[in-house]
Amino acid sequence: MSKHGDNALPARYQSGVKIFLVAIIGSLSVAACGAETGATPTPSLIVFAMAAQNGSGASGTGTVARGADSFTITIKLTRLMPNSSHVSHLHDGRCGAPGGIAFALKQVIADSAGGATIVSTVPIRYAVPASGWYVNVHHGPDFTEAEYAPSDSCGDLPAA
């Protein structure tokens, strides 16, 4: 028997376990408090309105989900012509001060009730220029006819 008695080995073992547990708990606490862990941040959601244009009645909502190197635009519209197809874009400018096309978005295809939802990803970081950006849903499926170009619904994107 050692001079420390029969409990010497278990006491050293218990001390080592306590140090190990304190180190693990400390690491988890630092990670939970926002230290860099390599995890991708949750995208923030920006909401905007889609307003009817040119007497179309087509309106709804839009959202932007920001990612690190891209952003996703979702638009939901009602009161489109049933079973219709519409080209859509992200434009430079504002609905009231239109500009050129910045990015093509997915085709908007209305269901039999005139509702549509599209989700498009834009491959750059979300940074609205001083001149603005807006989502434009045009009247027709493409630009082959002059009457397809006018806007049926439009929504200005907020800076952030």
| Residue 26 sits in the same domain as residue 99 | no
What per-residue confidence (pLDDT) applies to 44?
A: 78
135 and 116, same domain (yes or no): yes
CA 32 to chain centre: 24
pLDDT in tens, 21-78: 334 344 433 344 444 445 555 457 999 999 999 999 999 999 999 999 999 999 999 9
Q: What is the pLDDT of residue 24?
A: 39
Helices (H), the chain: 8-32
Report pLDDT digits (tens) over 89-118. 999 999 999 999 999 999 999 999 999 999
Residues 148 and 69 in one domain: yes
Q: In terms of domains, do 63 and 95 share one?
A: yes
CATH code where residue 106 lies: 2.60.40.200
The pTM of this model reads 0.73
Residues 122, 62 share a domain: yes
Q: In terms of domains, do 125 and 62 share one?
A: yes
Same domain, 81 and 129: yes
Tell me which residue of 102, 46, 52, 103 sits closest to 77, measured CA to CA. 52
53 phi and psi angles, rounded to 5 deg: -130, 150
- Residue (of 140, 63, 149) closest to 107 by Cα position: 140
Q: Cα separation of 74 and 113, whole Å?
A: 19
Q: For residues 160 and 36, which has the higher predicted lDDT (pLDDT)?
A: 160
Residues 77 and 129 in one domain: yes
Say yes or no: 143 and 80 in one domain: yes
Residues 20 and 59 in one domain: no
Q: 10 or 125, which is more confident?
A: 125
Residue 55: the pLDDT is 96
Number of separate domains in the chain: 2
Which amino acid is present at 48?
A: F
Residues 83 and 144 in one domain: yes
Question: What residue numbers bound the domain in which 2 lies?
Answer: 1-39
Q: Tokens 């278990």 sit at which residue?
A: 10
pLDDT of residue 43: 53
Q: Based on the domain organization, do 31 and 50 belong to the same domain?
A: no
For the chain, list the strands marked E by DSSP.
45-52, 59-66, 71-78, 85-86, 88-94, 97-104, 108-109, 116-122, 133-138, 151-156
